[in-house]
Amino acid sequence: MNVITDPKALQAQCLTWRNEGLRIGLVPTMGYFHDGHLALMERARELCDKLVVSLFVNPAQFGENEDLDSYPHDMEGDSAKAEARGADVLFAPPAGAMYEPDHATWIEVPELGKHLCGAQRPVHFRGVCTVVAKLFMLAQPAVAVFGQKDWQQLAILKRMVRDLNIPVEIIGHEIVREADGLALSSRNAYLTQEERAAAPAIRKGLLELADRIRAGEDVAAAKRGLAENFAASLPMGEVDYIEIVDPERIVPVEEVDGPVLAAVAIRMGRARLIDNILIEV
């Protein structure tokens, strides 16, 4: 595996591969790999000839009071894990290499960013779209794999690729979880022992809500029920949102007449945990 830090060097390598007719797979990440990241790499590995994993903690997607400076990192460990999953390149540019001081071009899909995480994090998805578009230009992938844990991000990136005719296939990978149901996240490292012990209540609550919706309970009552559940099961958690949305348009629904996505964000101490469940009725 080759570690590349210079964007131009990555682009040169990937253009060479493309000209040789090779299919490039890309897995964009912010590092501190867990089994969720590794599952994405394994999936991409099956679908391509050359696997590029990017590791870039993208300043443009962090708000002012967010955890950009304290985001966990382990370059050596990540490098070994990516290599073991068959990555051909680990692309790990320094922050300054990805944005010129007078960077002025942004990509946004505002329609899909009004709710869920977009409502709380106003610049977040603009930063995500812009960096992912840049990674697509650099790595020239035929396929890119993203996790369904960040469902809204996945929906936004699919729309960006469709609207801009970017020649890449976006694959969504199911959420990888701990044995007790907690969705894996680099930010789980922020949890205290007590918070970690309570955190599986997020998944349990979502499963319960899905049962209620399938049993015909109305959306408002199901959301209220989940809020009450979290107040009891996660007393140290602060709910950012509990929402039920159209899975593609990411707008809240009042009635269920097709598949819906239930999504939550909970603050616990230093961590902000998100999870979701697709409910097909």
Answer yes or no whether residue 172 interacts with ligand AMP by CB under 6 A: no
Q: Please give the full DSSP string across 177-218, using - where no structure is assigned.
A: B-TTSPBP-GGGGG--HHHHHHTTHHHHHHHHHHHHHHTT--
Q: Which is nearer to ligand AMP, 4 or 117 (CB)?
A: 117
| Helix, strand, coil % in the chain, rounded to nearest 5 | 45, 20, 35
Q: Total residues contacting ligand AMP (rule CB under 6 A)? A: 16
State the catalytic residue, choosing from 37, 115, 124, 173: 37
The single residue among 10, 30, 245, 273 that binds ligand AMP, judged by CB under 6 A, is: 30
| Binding mask of the shown chain, residues 91 to 130, with x at each position contacting ligand AMP by CB under 6 A | ----------------------------------------
Answer yes or no whether residue 186 interacts with ligand AMP by CB under 6 A: yes
Answer yes or no whether residue 37 interacts with ligand AMP by CB under 6 A: yes
* Distance between CA atoms of residues 151 and 168, nearest Å: 18
* Distance between CA atoms of residues 160 and 128, nearest Å: 11
The single residue among 173, 203, 212, 272 that binds ligand AMP, judged by CB under 6 A, is: 173
Q: Mark whether 37 is an active-site residue.
A: yes
The single residue among 184, 222, 261, 274 that binds ligand AMP, judged by CB under 6 A, is: 184
The single residue among 78, 88, 150, 240 that binds ligand AMP, judged by CB under 6 A, is: 150
Distance of CA 86 to the CA centre of its chain: 21
Q: What is the largest CA-CA distance in the chain?
A: 58
Answer yes or no whether residue 175 interacts with ligand AMP by CB under 6 A: yes
Q: Which is nearer to ligand AMP, 127 or 147 (CB)?
A: 147
Answer yes or no whether residue 54 interacts with ligand AMP by CB under 6 A: no
Least spacing, CB of residue 83 vs ligand AMP, in Å: 17
Show the DSSP H helices in 89-236 as ranges. Answer: 95-98, 116-120, 124-139, 151-163, 193-198, 201-214, 219-233
Q: Which is nearer to ligand AMP, 200 or 223 (CB)?
A: 200
Cβ atoms of 148 and 172 within 8 Å: the answer is yes
Residue 203 sits at the vertex; the CA angle it makes with 201 and 208, to the nearest 5 degrees, is: 90
Q: Which residue is listed with tokens 């469902």?
A: 151
The single residue among 29, 54, 130, 152 that binds ligand AMP, judged by CB under 6 A, is: 29
- Nearest residue (beta carbon) to ligand AMP: 147
Neighbours of 54 (CB within 10 A): 28
Active site residues: 37
Using CB under 6 A as the criterion, which residues of the chain lie in contact with ligand AMP when the complex forms? 29-30, 36-37, 40, 146-147, 149-150, 173, 175-176, 183-186
